[in-house]
Amino acid sequence: MERSRAGVDDITGPRVQFDGGGDFHADLRSRIRVHLAEPGRIRRGERTILLKTAVVVAWAVVSWVLLVFAATTWWQAGLLSISLGLALAGIGFNVTHDANHGSFSRRRWLNRTMRWSLDLMGASSYVWRTKHNVVHHTYTNVSGVDHDIDGMPFARFAPDQPRRWFHRSQHVYMWALYGLFAISWHTTADFGHLRKGEIGGAPLRWPRGLEAAGFWGGKALFVGWAVVVPALFHPLWQVAIVFAIVSVVLAFVLAVTFQLAHCLEEAEFTTPDEMTATGRADWARHQIETTVDFAPRNHLLAWYLGGLNFQVEHHLFSRVCHVHYPGMAPIVQEVCEKHGVRYRSHRTTFSAVGSHARWLRRMGAATSPA
């Protein structure tokens, strides 16, 4: 079974009991197992993912070096800042995300090493694994538990969340706020979760040992390459402007990509009470009902996003490397059709963006039916 169960049984409060999914989930796992067993396929990415890693890391390093040591005009600094932000997002999609799911490599030490790439970008991989792997991947779009759909007070993403008067304009202003989320990632978010001691009901202790070294070392190294070294060669106000541009590009690309997977008209939302009232839930069906693919035929986009436009496949098989998702998608669709489960997908990115915008407007309306 591909769902991450580590820490799930420790979640407190109203808790949904998932069952094994019956014939539907068994059929999914069987078909994907056969697919991955075909000659030339390896469950983890291995050489393919290592090549992608080399490309996106080189992109980021070259952008940073040119930005710090070669840029002499504002237009050069601006373009290189955008390039660095896009490259860092590419690392997040292709390296950080897979490594933290354990799908980057068969070698545990390599997964552990690569997951620290998130720490080098200013956020904690230790905190993120609880927030993302344990909570989000288990209780997807469950209000009050899944932190990824908690945009309050600025945004109302789910029908049962409280509405504020300014939410009526969220379909306009949230596109700008998406670019500001990195401020929280780089400053208070990790410490806030650790002080609270939980995320979505899942316990979160302060890191110890090697995790503590990664946490504090990552924070220090991030400040070093992002602020201290550039400040040795440029006025601090210039460093601040460039830092802001890079952060906005990084945050906007990451935020929008993940919003297009779950906060759309086609995705379903629920609460712990609603799910508990219906008894044990089918985990696989829940993932498909709350997740949407987009632009499945855009190979360049899939390469850059680390397969995260195939979110349905990722949520069902998060420990399979993303390089396999395009080949898995037709199989998942076929099994869904066989078992009468609705498979949700947008043909283009623009279609998904439109759906997200309409959903924001719908949730911000004075009367917003689910």
Q: Write down the pTM of the prediction.
A: 0.91
Helix axis angle, 236-262 to 349-364, nearest 10°? 90
Q: What's the pLDDT score for residue 12?
A: 46
- What is the 8-class DSSP label of residue 44? S
Q: Output the six-digit token pair for 83.
A: 């390039």
pLDDT digits (tens, 9 = 90+) for 59-111: 999 999 999 999 999 999 999 999 999 999 999 999 999 999 999 998 999 99
**DSSP state, 367?**
S
Residue 369: predicted pLDDT = 52
Per-domain residue ranges of the chain: 8-364
pLDDT at 273: 81
Residue 40: per-residue pLDDT: 67
Query: What size, in residues, is the chain?
Result: 370
With a cut of 50, list the residues of the chain below it in pLDDT: 1-14
Query: What does the alpha-carbon distance between residue 221 and residue 205 come to, in Å, rounded to a whole number?
Result: 22
Residues 6+ apart with CB under 8 A from 278: none
Six token digits for residue 38: 């075909």
Q: Are 147 and 130 in contact (CB under 8 A)?
A: no
d(C-alpha 273, C-alpha 16), whole Å: 8
What value, to the nearest 5°, has the Cα angle with vertex 309 and ends 190 and 156? 55
pLDDT at 272: 84
Contact status, residue 326 vs residue 310, Cβ threshold 8 Å: yes
